[in-house]
Structure 1
Amino acid sequence: MYTFSFYFFWGAFTFLFSWLFGITDSGFDTVIPYSLLLLAIIISWPVSIYIQLLIMYFWGKVRKNTDTLDMLDHKFGNSLLRLGQRLLRLKVIVSGKENIPEGKFIFVGNHQENYDIIALKPIFNNHPLCFIAKEPLFTFPFLGPWMSIIGNIPIGRVANRSAAESIINGIKRYKYGHSVGIFPEGKRSFSNEMIEFKPGAFKLAIKPKSDILIGTLYNLDKIFGTFPYKRHKSYIHIHPVLKYEDYKDLNSIELSNKVKAIIQEQLNVFKKEIK
């Protein structure tokens, strides 16, 4: 989606500049046409981004059923996130994609950095996936409306009634037919080590009797770890689905420990294999 709009505006600006400056095929013997062509490319990037953001913003304002997570919004969002990966010079290496089920699920993963969702969401290109994310993100210009439009749910840092309502809203979203993601740590670890899980997060899966899709994130904390700014590889492993039948006899604390152990095992594998 973003690639199409970029090439569209590139062509439009190139045509406009050629018309304004009277450039023809025979005029490419000076530096001016090439400079204008480069300018058209540079302008097309931000214009394409803002046009998509505006479309998503006003589409979210006018549609009647704001609880419906449209595939159009999902595709728009993923195109912007893929652009974000390029701007961050982030290459995401994914293993276990074959474990992604066809139906809805609750996604659970470790939380390393602010960029986790940028790396994660495009993996599920055919699965509209929203996240329960920290509340301050929803107050940012453009980003905030986009977060809401694609169905993300704000949650505060404190485990209070408001946080419980966010989990309830996530369950409702799941029952509507959407997959929902959550980071049980509740905050970023800024490393390849995990911090304590909050067992209450697993009520998001226990209450609706959902299958759980587990993901292990590795090296997302090191995106800006080098200077000069170099292309960075991060790794995500998608584990086999944890069926509800396989954990239905566990309480939230036991389930939390089980999932954390699965993620920790894969983190140990990454630490051995990736130098």
Structure 2
Amino acid sequence: MAYYAKHTEKYTETQCYKLAMRVMWLIRKKGRISTTAFGSETLPEDGGYIMYANHQGKYDTIGIMTSHKKPCSIVIDSVTAKRLIVNQAVDLVKGKRFVRGDIKQQAGEIVRIIKEVKAGRRYIVFPEAGYDDNKNELIEFHAGSFKMALKAQCPIVPVALWDSWKVFYGRSLKPVKSQVHFLKPIAFEEYKEMNTQQICELVKSRIQEKLDELRAATEEARECEKADTLTKSRFLGVYDWSVLLTYVSLCFGILGSCMAIGSKLANAMACLVLSALFEKLNEKFERAKLAKCGAEEHRYGTHADSLSNLICFGVLPCAIGYAVGLDSMIHMVFYTFYIISVVVRLAYFNAKTESEEDSSKKYLIGLPVLSIAILLPVLYLFKDILGSVYQLIMTCIYPIAGISYISSFRIRKPKALEEREELVAQKNEEIEAGDRVNQ
């Protein structure tokens, strides 16, 4: 490639261009890059024209040139052109280098570009003149870059690049997909009465319109994918990190119940604490997941969490109480009341909408069921000190906790929990809106 670039006089323009394309296709293949082109049929059949594209990253030129059927060239910054392979590729396609700050040099290159476009050559220009982690967003277009098209009196082809930034973003080896959209050409007759600023705004608006269209289509596809998450899985259920933590918490709840039945009280208490820890960890993952998950995933996670809590903080505490020796009929009544209170609380907050008064969003209503995972282990630590009073306190805990679960007194929420509630509220509104549309 370097030899071809140094001795372009020995090879035809077609041979040099084919070699450059071969290298670009090799980069695409080895980089596992898939670029889909749209609108190629709208490109002018004859004559020269200039393609004005939004700039997202280093892959932009490769994406356009490998999607463009006919030979074309590029206008590039002289500093960027010094990079390995880029320098040789620019020579092979007879690209033009602009030296920043050198107005005279740039003017000379512009004159040469105008002559070549009039002679039938096609050029790629990035009017943003750079990129700054803008991804699929446009930044300022420079009106001066449109003087070339105005002087050459040639068609302007707006080009919209989508997801081109992903190719060299980060260090992932996953396959990357990008899109190149050749928009409807703007004939010289359409813009000959305009100044460069007006032409700039016209081209930018058309590219922005296409990007908005692609963004809407992408979001719609993402929502459909979220909705199909449960049905596409080989197995019933959801198995993301948040739900897996719920399953782990449930496992400790079941294990703790078995330990309590076997009179291994210390182990049962440890399982109760671990269940609570994994439940709190699940809340952190859930906050990150709420903005991304679909309606079905959200509902599934909510119900799975409630059923897990029923076992871990409803059944397990009663099994611990039974293991302590609280096995009389009155204790059975207390256990029954306690578990029913847990069910009522969990069912209430599952069914509760977020249309309550604003004050309820800043306060916890009643005592959370996880509080039992603090009360029982703390009491167990002071078991020897309390002596015979220990069983009396344990007896009182179940009816008092049950009443606290279903009471309407308010406790100020921690800030992290308030943020989570806001995310849940937003997700519930999305679900309700989706349900109304389906109806």
Q: So what's the TM-score if we normalise by structure 2?
A: 0.47
| 1:179 aligned onto 2:122 | yes
| 1:254 aligned onto 2:198 | yes
Amino acid in the other structure paired with 1:116:
D
Amino acid in the other structure paired with 2:122:
S
Go from structure 1 to structure 2 and tell me whether the alpha carbon gap of 1:197 and 1:73 turns closer, same or farther (over 3 Å shift).
same
Q: Distance in 2 between matches of 1:227 and 1:167?
A: 37
| 1:77 aligned onto 2:25 | no
Whether contact under 8 Å (2:74, 2:90) holds in the other structure is no
- Aligned equivalent of 2:72, options 129, 139, 144: 129
Give the corresponding residue for 1:165.
108
Whether contact under 8 Å (2:158, 2:203) holds in the other structure is yes
Tell me the C-alpha RMSD between the 2 structures. 2.0
Go from structure 1 to structure 2 and tell me whether the alpha carbon gap of 1:56 and 1:261 turns closer, same or farther (over 3 Å shift).
same
The offset of 1:96, in angstroms, is 0.9
The offset of 1:162, in angstroms, is 2.6
- Aligned equivalent of 1:101, options 44, 64, 70: 44
Counting only pairs closer than 5 Å after superposition, residues 15-164 of structure 1 correspond to structure 2 as 53-54=1-2, 56-62=4-10, 70-103=13-46, 104-125=48-69, 127-158=70-101, 160-164=103-107
The offset of 1:159, in angstroms, is 7.2
Larger RCO (alpha carbons 8 Å, 6+ apart)? 1
The offset of 1:153, in angstroms, is 0.4
Q: Distance in 2 between matches of 1:170 and 1:225?
A: 32
Give the corresponding residue for 1:10.
none
The offset of 1:225, in angstroms, is 4.4
- Structure label with greater radius of gyration: 2
**SS at 1:177's partner residue?**
coil
The offset of 1:140, in angstroms, is 3.6
**SS at 1:145's partner residue?**
helix
The offset of 1:102, in angstroms, is 1.3
Listed one character per residue, the Cα deviations across residues 85-141 of structure 1 (whole Å, up to 9, x for unaligned) are 12222110111111122122111111110110111101223x220010111233345
Whether contact under 8 Å (2:49, 2:155) holds in the other structure is yes
Whether contact under 8 Å (1:216, 1:238) holds in the other structure is yes
Identity of matched residues, %: 24
Whether contact under 8 Å (2:5, 2:91) holds in the other structure is no
Amino acid in the other structure paired with 1:112:
Q
Give the corresponding residue for 1:32.
none
Amino acid in the other structure paired with 2:5:
Y
The offset of 1:213, in angstroms, is 1.1
Q: Distance in 2 between matches of 1:159 and 1:265?
A: 34
Go from structure 1 to structure 2 and tell me whether the alpha carbon gap of 1:113 and 1:58 turns closer, same or farther (over 3 Å shift).
same
Unaligned runs of 5+ in 1: 1-52, 64-68
Q: Which segment drifts farther, 141-150 or 73-82?
A: 141-150
Structure with the higher fraction of residues in helix conformation: 2
Give the corresponding residue for 2:160.
216
Amino acid in the other structure paired with 1:145:
Q
Aligned positions, number: 217
Unaligned runs of 5+ in 2: 223-439
Give the corresponding residue for 1:33.
none
Q: Distance in 2 between matches of 1:177 and 1:134?
A: 23
Counting only pairs closer than 5 Å after superposition, residues 218-237 of structure 1 correspond to structure 2 as 218-225=162-169, 228-237=172-181
Whether contact under 8 Å (2:36, 2:67) holds in the other structure is no
Q: Distance in 1 between matches of 2:157 and 2:121?
A: 13
**SS at 1:108's partner residue?**
strand
- Aligned equivalent of 2:146, options 190, 197, 202: 202
Q: Which segment drifts farther, 127-136 or 137-146?
A: 137-146
Q: Distance in 1 between matches of 2:171 and 2:8?
A: 40
Go from structure 1 to structure 2 and tell me whether the alpha carbon gap of 1:261 and 1:152 turns closer, same or farther (over 3 Å shift).
same
Give the corresponding residue for 2:280.
none
Give the corresponding residue for 2:388.
none
Go from structure 1 to structure 2 and tell me whether the alpha carbon gap of 1:240 and 1:171 turns closer, same or farther (over 3 Å shift).
same
**SS at 2:35's partner residue?**
strand
